Structures are given as structure tokens and as C-alpha cells.
């Protein structure tokens, strides 16, 4: 069986779910990442920023927009340096302004993806996979990009069946 790593970022706190702001103790993407890990016995690596984004939703959207416009690479608490043990790398994150949070790129840009297969997974409130596949093409040089999965953020908790099916089909 192939060995899979899930690199993910997920934000706890106030989030927009089906039209209203709710307080999430676990982020939507973290829930999905854990379902993938359970399905194919994958390892998890959480991208964690040194400066946390605001727990306030609107403030966070402003912070994220500024980082996107600046093509920023926010500093992380810890970095993964070596992915040589893995065949498949799932990159899971929330859709922020049509792509991954810049913190994901802080991590991806340090890794050697030669010969790996990468899979875009995104939780969202309507944009679907948006720019995720293109972002992986750009930031995971030397990797081939496999089938992606978009999960509506508000449905993350109920998505285990769909996520497990996707993982079993693509990550074995
Ligand atoms: C800064 C920010 C920007 C967002 N931009 C988008 C967007 O462009 N399209 C979209 O469908 N959802 C957008 N959302 C909603 C999130 O993608 C969605 O709530 C996601 O499931 C959050 O995942 P998380 O709980 O793992 O952080 C945005 C949320 C935030 C906080």
C-alpha cells in the first residue's frame, strides 16, 4: 500500500457556516484531514502559523487578503523538512480568497516533491476546489497532481463517507 501524508491548515474560531457565523472548536479542514487519515492510515502534519490569524471572521478575511496581495509566506511554528517516506501528499486547506491560505505555501515551498503524487483537498463555502489544483501545480514542482476533493465546510462533520470513498479510491 502507498504511504500518504496529509499536510493541512485549518482555522478554529468564528467561521461562516451556511450564512451565519458560528464558533468552531475544530476547523472544517481538520475534520476532513482526520477522515482521510483514518481511511488510509495516513500521517498528519498541521501547518501552524507563529502569528495566529484573528479568531474574528471579518478581521481574518482582511488579514488573509493582505497576505494574498503581498504573496506573503507567514512564519510557521514548525516546518516539515523531509517527505521522502511518502508516495502521496494530500494538501488540505480552506478556500481563502480562491486559493489556499498563504501559510500552506510557506510549507510547500520548502519541500522536494520530485516523483510524488499530490492531491488537492479544499473546504469552502461555495467556491469548490477553486485555485487549489493550479496552486499545487505551481508549488509542488516535480509532482503529478491527482484527483481533488472539495467539501462544503458546513458539511465537513457529515462528510466521512464521501471523504473515505475518495481516499480509498485515490490514495491506495
Ligand atoms: C479568510 C477567509 C477567506 C475565505 N474565502 C473563501 C472563498 O474565497 N470562497 C469560499 O467558498 N469560502 C471562503 N471562505 C470560507 C472557508 O473556506 C470555509 O469556511 C472553510 O471550510 C474553512 O475551513 P477551516 O475551518 O478548516 O479553516 C473563507 C474563509 C476565510 C476565513
Among the listed residues 170, 119, 108, the one whose alpha carbon sits nearest the alpha carbon of residue 141: 108
Q: What pTM did the predictor assign?
A: 0.96
Residue 139 CB–ligand 1 contact under 6 Å: no
Give the three cell numbers for residue 134.
493550479
Q: Which atom of ligand 1 is nearest to the CA of 151?
A: 21
Give the single-character DSSP code of 152: E
Give the three cell numbers for residue 106.
510557506
| Helix, strand, coil fractions of the chain, as percent rounded to 5 | 35, 25, 40
The sign of the dihedral angle between the CA atoms of 15, 162, 97, 146 is positive
Residue 123 CB–ligand 1 contact under 6 Å: yes
CA of 171 to the centre of ligand 1 (A): 25
State residue 148's pLDDT score: 98
Residue 101 near residue 132 (C-beta atoms within 8 A): no
Residue 166 near residue 88 (C-beta atoms within 8 A): no
CA of 125 to the centre of ligand 1 (A): 6
Q: Strands 20-24, 13-17: parallel, antiparallel or unpaired by DSSP?
A: antiparallel
Any idea what the CATH number is for the domain that residue 58 is in? 3.40.50.360
Total count of domains within the chain: 1
Phi then psi dihedrals of residue 7, to 5 deg = -95, 125
What are the per-10-residue average pLDDT scores of the chain (172 residues)? 94 78 87 98 97 90 98 98 97 98 98 98 97 98 97 95 98 90
CA of 124 to the centre of ligand 1 (A): 5
DSSP string, 97-137: TTB--HHHHHHHTTS--TT-EEEEEEEESS-TTTTHHHHHH
* Domain enclosing residue 58, as ranges: 4-170
Q: Atom 7 (ligand 1): residue with closest C-alpha?
A: 97
CA of 103 to the centre of ligand 1 (A): 14
State residue 25's pLDDT score: 80
Amino acid at each position: 500500500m502507498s504511504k500518504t501524508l496529509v499536510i493541512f491548515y485549518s482555522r478554529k474560531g468564528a467561521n461562516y457556516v451556511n450564512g451565519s457565523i458560528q464558533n468552531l472548536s475544530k476547523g472544517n479542514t481538520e475534520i476532513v484531514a482526520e477522515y482521510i487519515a483514518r481511511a488510509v492510515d495516513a500521517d498528519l502534519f498541521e501547518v501552524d502559523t507563529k502569528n495566529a490569524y484573528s479568531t474574528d471572521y471579518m478581521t481574518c478575511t482582511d488579514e488573509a487578503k493582505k497576505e494574498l496581495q503581498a504573496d506573503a509566506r507567514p512564519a510557521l511554528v514548525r516546518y516539515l523538512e523531509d517527505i521522502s517516506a511518502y508516495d502521496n501528499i494530500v494538501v488540505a486547506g480552506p478556500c481563502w480568497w480562491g486559493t489556499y491560505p498563504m501559510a500552506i505555501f510557506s510549507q510547500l515551498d520548502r519541500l522536494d516533491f520530485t516523483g510524488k503524487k499530490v492531491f488537492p483537498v479544499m473546504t469552502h463555502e461555495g467556491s469548490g476546489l477553486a485555485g487549489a489544483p493550479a496552486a499545487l501545480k505551481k508549488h509542488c514542482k516535480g509532482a503529478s497532481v491527482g484527483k481533488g476533493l472539495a467539501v462544503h465546510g458546513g458539511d465537513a462533520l457529515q462528510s466521512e463517507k464521501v471523504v473515505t470513498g475518495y481516499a480509498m479510491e485515490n490514495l491506495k
